Amino acid sequence: MLTYPLRRLAISIPTLLFISLAIFFLLNLAPNDPMAQVPLTVPPEVKEKMREALGYGQPLLVQYWKWLVQFFWIEPQVWIDATFGTSLSEGKQRIISWQTRSPVMDIVAQRLPQTLWVVGMSYVVGILIALPIGIYSAYRQYSVFDQVGTFVAMVGYSVPPFFSGVFAIVIFSISLGWFPSIYDTTHQVVDWDSFVFQLRQMIMPVMVLALQTTAQLSRFMRSSMLDNLNQDYVRTARAKGASEWSVVMIHVLRNSMIPVVTVIALGIPSIFGGAIITEQVFKVNGIGQQLIGALYANDLPTVQTLTFMFAFLIVMFNLIADILYGLLDPRIRYD
Amino acid sequence: MTETSVHTPSSKWRDVWRQFKSHKGALIGGVIFVGILLFVFVGQYVWPWEANQMNIRARNQGPSWAHPFGTDQLGRDTMARIIQGGQTSITVGLTAMVLALFLGTLVGVLAGYFKRLDGLLMRLTDLFLSLPILPLLLVMMLLFRETLSQLYGPETGIFILIVVAIGITSWMPTARIVRGDVLALKEREFILAARSIGTTNFQIILRHILPNVLSPIMVSATLGIANAIITESALSFLGLGFPPDFPTWGRLLNDAVDYLQQYPERVFWPGMAISLTVLSINYIGDGLRDALDPRIRGR
């Protein structure tokens, strides 16, 4: 039972290493100068020394190795220090952003909560809307509700977030003036009024992201329910006199949830990708916007670290989805 | 079996067309998509305004008979720009789809047909599937745009870059589907028969395998166009697509967002164009999938 997860974990390590190497070489193919933003009055010798101080003059493989060590060895130590008050990482070189000259992970730590709040909330909202719609559409297949649901899902799937987001801003913040169009990340929730304000500014980004999740997930839930509704065990459950509610919500739903749960796990990394655009639309100060800002400023260490973090999320959630599938469905055994 | 199919020998493609016609959404989607294609590719010759023709006296106008979609901050006709932008967006979508399909089919057929290559190629597919696509696309756009602009000129250079970038990051689903189908086909008798009369591997793939995996490829093609159009628009929207004076739908949307407070209606047309195109293509894909599925067809 345990060998399969372990083997998958063992495969995912070289995958991640290869991806990080690919990102690293892709970034270093292009001519980039960390000193591009430094004023012209600084003499060239000084600039050369500053470059060396950032580790720029060394061979690529050495630079890559240093990045690996910094990301996988030193940054976790910093994290442990911050949590338990130890001093493991003292005096060790961390990944430094060329843009701000401060450690990349500090900025990530500042910005991650915003992204997690918006993305996480939208995913939860999307799931909560999608599952009942999917269940009811399948139960009343080809009804008006099902037809409308199919159409709305198709629209939600086809309209890109950079249009639905902008469209929502035009309607709800410019025409109606209900919600603010820019997300204020400095806002602190202290009392009821500030909580209401936080809620109002979160509604639009969350709903725009949730629309995408809902569209995909409700279709998937529907087809998964349909697969199960015609099975023999459903007829057996009805024949033995189980109530309709318990047939659908207990017998069918539990079996239908198996593939849906894995799809939910698989979708988590892609929602972070979608958040890049949504954050740009609503000016949410999250890691997606950090990536865009770093790209424009040629800040390679930040781009490298963030891109790799996205890759890490994808590989990890693929692994989780695979293992979940085996755990939930007793018919599937990995040997 | 209906009466007509007994008398007239019906080919597979006629059955497919009949099934496709019965899917209302797909039919409407097809009509709308053809309409958009006509609007975008023929409209240029009918519509009197040029996309980059400035008229500073007629700037920021609302809809009128002369400019049905209004004009922008430099007095350029929005409808002409939508037409011009649509040509770029749809051409990028089609070309990127063809490239992705070619790569996907190549990898899928090789992996399915040659057992020795299977493990390696499927590992490669898995690897590409775990890449963070949007961040990587952004990185590629940023790093190579200067080089390619200098080599091929700003427009062609960026075009090549976008098409190649989208193509090499979206072939994986096609490869997986094609591989699965080839694996099943390879064991069939007609392949054995072909091999026993001395047909070379290349000929078997070309004459016997490829025509039989056409259905999944066609379905991936429709989804590929939709995906490529959205990706190109997203890149342009983030400011990393085509240069500013070269309109695409995503670029127009991005420009309109700058004037969101003063002229909110401006985001409507480019956004609508993207959404309607993608929606119609998705419906075509849906109908095509049903029409090409032998379990559904002929019911």
Mean per-residue pLDDT, A9-29: 84
First to last CA, chain A: 7
- At residue B260, the pLDDT reads 74
CA angle centred on B205, ends B199 and B211, rounded to 5°: 120
pLDDT of residue B296: 58
Q: Does A32 map to a domain?
A: no
Whole-angstrom CA distances from B89 to A13, B95, B159 are: 38, 10, 10
Structural domains in chain B (count): 1
Interface membership of B260 toward A (CB under 8 Å) = yes
**Region A136-152 average pLDDT:** 87
Pairs from A173-178 (Cβ < 8 Å, separation ≥ 24): A173/A204, A174/B260, A174/B261, A174/B264, A175/B264
* Residue-level pLDDT at A291: 86
CATH number for the domain including B183?
A: 1.10.3720.10
Cβ-in-10-Å burial (0-12, 13-18, 19+) of B60 comes to: middle
Q: A310 — contact with chain B (CB < 8 Å)?
A: yes
Q: What letter would DSSP give residue A251?
A: I
- Assigned domain for A41 exists: no
pLDDT at A2 > cutoff 50: yes
Q: How far apart are the first and last CA of chain B?
A: 9
Report chain A's mean pLDDT, rounded to a whole number. Answer: 81
Cβ contact (<8 Å) for A280 and B127? no
A153: domain range? 106-162+206-328
**What pLDDT digit, counting tens, does each position of B172-212 carry?**
989 998 999 899 888 889 999 999 999 999 999 988 898 88
User: Which pLDDT does position A31 carry in this prediction?
Assistant: 62
Look at residue A177 and tell me if it is in a domain. no
Q: How confident is the model at residue B66 (pLDDT cuts 50, 70, 90)?
A: low
A194 domain-assigned: no
| pLDDT for residue B216 | 84
Banded pLDDT at A333 (limits 50, 70, 90): low
- For residue A318, what pLDDT is reported? 85
- Report yes or no on A82 lying in a domain: no
Task: Tell me: pLDDT of B299 over 50.
Answer: no
**B132: in domain:** yes
B60: in domain: no
- Contact yes or no for B275 and A303 at CB 8 A: no
Name the residue of chain A whose CA is nearest to B137's CA.
A307
| B106 in any annotated domain | yes
pLDDT at A221 over 50: yes
Residue A157 lies in a domain: yes
Residue A21, token pair as written in the block: 């190497």
Worst-scoring range by mean pLDDT, A134-148, A212-226, A267-281?
A: A267-281
Domain hosting B86: range is 16-49+69-297
Q: What are the structure tokens assigned to B190, written together? A: 């007609």
Residue B98 pLDDT class (50, 70, 90 cuts): very high
- A83 exposed, middle or buried (CB, 10 Å; 0-12, 13-18, 19+)? exposed
Chain B contact present for A19, CB below 8 A = yes
Residues 255-284 of A with CB under 8 A from B: 269, 273, 276-277, 280-281
Residue B1, pLDDT score: 44
**Angle at which helices A300-328 and A287-296 cross, to 10°:** 150
Structural domain includes residue B59: no
Residue A261 lies in a domain: yes
Number of domains observed in the structure of chain A = 1
What CATH number should be reported for the domain holding residue A158? 1.10.3720.10
Mean pLDDT in residue range A204-210: 85
Which pLDDT score is estimated for B100?
A: 93
Quick one: closest CA in B to A175, which residue? B264
Closest residue to B271, CB basis, from A26, A154, A167: A167
Answer whether residue B81 is part of any domain.
yes
Cβ <8 Å between B237 and A277: yes
Question: Tell me, what's the pLDDT at A73?
Answer: 79
Contact A276 B135 (CB under 8 A): yes
Sorting pLDDT into bands at 50, 70 and 90, what band is A128? Answer: very high
Pair of tokens at residue A317:
């959630």
Nearby residues of B76 by Cβ (< 8 Å), 6 or more positions away: B49, B51, B52, B53, B54, B55
Across the interface, do B278 and A280 touch by the CB < 8 Å criterion? no
Instruction: Give the pLDDT of residue A57.
Output: 67
Question: How far is the alpha carbon of A155 from chain B, nearest alpha carbon, in Å?
Answer: 6
Confidence of residue A113 (pLDDT cuts 50, 70, 90): confident
pLDDT at B62 over 90: no
A157-189 tens-digit pLDDT: 888 888 888 888 888 887 777 877 777 777 777
State whether A160 and B275 contact (CB < 8 Å).
Answer: yes
Is residue B143 pLDDT above 60, yes or no?
A: yes
Q: Of A32-46, A118-132, B154-168, B254-268, which gets the smallest average pLDDT?
A: A32-46
pTM of the model: 0.83
Residue A263 domain-assigned (yes or no): yes
Alpha helices of chain A — where are they, by DSSP H? 3-29, 44-53, 60-69, 75-84, 104-139, 144-158, 161-168, 192-229, 232-239, 244-246, 253-282, 287-296, 300-328
Residue B3, domain member (yes or no)? no
Judge: B132–A162 Cβ closer than 8 Å, yes or no: no
Q: Does the pLDDT of residue B102 top 50, yes or no?
A: yes
Chain A residues touching residue B132 (CB < 8 angstroms): 269, 273, 307, 310-311, 313-314
